[in-house]
Homo-oligomer: A and B are copies of this chain.
Amino acid sequence: MDVEKLLSQTVLNSWKSVNQRVSALIAQMSEENIQFEIAPGRNRALYIVGHLTAVSDRMFPLLGVGERRFPNLDAVYLEHPDRTAADPLAPADLKAAWQDLAARLTDALEAFTPDEWLQKHTAVSDADFVKEPSRNRMAVVLARTNHISYHMGQLMLAQNPR
Contacts and interface: CB of A to CB of B under 8 A. Distances in A.
DSSP majority for the A interface?
Answer: helix
Given A14-B143, A38-B157, A1 B150 contact: no
Given A3-B115, A7-B8, A42-B162, A153 B149 contact: yes
Copies of this chain, tallied across the complex:
2
A28 interface: no
Given A7-B4, A139-B13, A145-B146, A154 B157 contact: yes
A10 B162 contact: no
Interface string A2-29: 0110111111011001100000000000
- Size category, A interface: 35 or more
Contacts of A40: 39-40, 162
Interface stretch (A59-67, A71-79, A87-95, A130-138): A130-138
A47 interface: no
A118 B3 contact: yes
A138 B142 CA distance: 13
Contact of A142 (B1, B14, B153): B14
Contacts of A98: none
Contacts of A143: 14, 17
11 contacts: A1-B133, A4-B7, A6-B134, A7-B114, A10-B118, A13-B134, A14-B139, A18-B146, A38-B39, A38-B157, A150-B153
